[in-house]
Structure formats: structure tokens, C-alpha cells
Amino acid sequence: MYGLISKFRAHPGKREELMALMTEETPPMRGCRSYIVARDPADADGIWITEAWDSADSHKASLQIQGVKDVIARAMPLIAGFEVRHETEPVGGVGL
């Protein structure tokens, strides 16, 4: 499996709008086991994304789905920066 843990920084006052976009329903993403969007309780503009995929190729392919590309395009103006990005190798867990 392939995992990704990322922290985004929204522009001030835009976190809720950005999270709403990031949790919109998109077309099915083949190979996605888990996609979680969370507020950073210690950072008013911080958002954490935790993902688990069947493979890195499945994750990469998801970025080519038109509905996903549309959400990314609408979200980019709300993102002030990308602070953390860690790739992981999930081995199991609930919902995987």
C-alpha cells in the first residue's frame, strides 16, 4: 500500500471553505482505501490530509480524474502553502 500525510495552510479565514472543497464528492477514485481531511486544532489555518491507497500508481492516477482535477483547480487559490508531506507504507488498520 501507499500512504500520504500532508499539511496544507489555507489563506487566513479560508480554512473552512478549503476543507469544504476537499471533502466534496468526487468520482470514484480506484484504489483509494482512506482519505481523511482534518482541522489542525493548534493552527487556525492548518489542514491535515491522511490518505491510504492500494499503490502509489493508484494515487497518481486519481490526480488525472476530471472531477478531482476540477476540485484541485478550485482549491489552489485558497491554499497559502504546503508545509508537510510524508509518504508512508500502510500495513493495515481499520477501514483498510
Read off the pLDDT of residues 22-45 as tens digits, 9 standing for 90 and up.
998 888 899 999 999 999 999 999
Let me know: does 90 contact 4? Beta carbons within 8 Å.
Answer: no
pLDDT digits (tens, 9 = 90+) for 31-89: 999 999 999 999 999 999 999 999 999 999 999 999 999 999 999 999 999 999 999 99
Q: What is the pTM of this model?
A: 0.90
Q: What is the CATH number of domain 2-88?
A: 3.30.70.100
Question: Domain boundaries in the chain?
Answer: 2-88
d(CA 13, CA 18): 10
